[in-house]
Amino acid sequence: MRDERSVDIYGLMETSRIGERLKGYIMDCVRFHTFPAAGLILGVFMVDLALEKLGAKPGDRLYAVSESPKCLPDAVQVITHCTYGNHRLRVIDTGRFSIALNRFSEGSTAPGVRVFIDAKKVAAYPTLYAWYTNDYNGGADGKALLEEILRAGRSVLSWEYVNVRFTPKEKWRSVKCPSCGEMVPENRLENGVCRACGSMAYYEREMKASGQLLN
């Protein structure tokens, strides 16, 4: 069974002769993510390549897109400091394992670099290919998978220059949801109520008193 949680990633990096910069990135990302997930380690190589091709470095004012919500966003956040909270990371779930980085732009597009796993290149690494294609019949364990990722490094990646599209910030005013009584942006209402009272409801309120109920 594949499980990366118990793998000594530092030992594997030493054996694979990973450079100090990447080693530091990987350890920082693992601490944040809490374990050395395969997608996270691949993400480190992807972010490092994107930074190089963009001519940027961690700490620059950058913006990022992750095309997967799994593992990859954490590598982007830790290394580039583009986070969901500071509005410099967008997760657009296309199903592809890819990222894009760009610098700040005043317009509606910004020149950037997109990095992705190349299906033709990854085929040279059977264990990694089985993970990438979601084929678990091979029965590879977590250590074997991570060893292959560290050995492959950038060799399974491709990149391209792109113009990243984005939507300028909208002006909005706050209104009270008639259902729950909480304040929300007016442009987030749907059918007259906030999304938490509509299509994005994710909890049911307990009947017993819980803080200050509004209705």
Which DSSP string do the residues of 116-169 spell out, in sequence order? EE-HHHHTTSHHHHHHHTT-GGG---HHHHHHHHHHHGGGGEEEEEEEEE-PPP
Name the DSSP letter for residue 70: S
Of 141, 63, 131, 143, nearest to 97 (Cα)?
131
pTM: 0.88
Query: What are the tokens at 29?
Result: 């990302």
- Phi (first) and psi of residue 151, to 5 degrees: -70, -40
> Could you give the CA distance from residue 155 to residue 153 in angstroms, rounded to a whole number?
6
Cα 187 to chain centroid, rounded: 27
Domains and CATH numbers, the chain: 9-165 (3.30.1330.130), 171-215 (no CATH)
| Per-residue pLDDT tens over the stretch 95-125 | 999 999 999 998 899 999 999 999 999 999 9
∠172-173-174 over CA atoms, to 5°? Answer: 130
| Per-residue pLDDT tens over the stretch 183-205 | 999 999 999 999 999 999 999 88
| Per-residue pLDDT tens over the stretch 7-46 | 899 999 999 999 999 999 999 999 999 999 999 999 999 9
Contact 102, 164 (CB under 8 A): yes
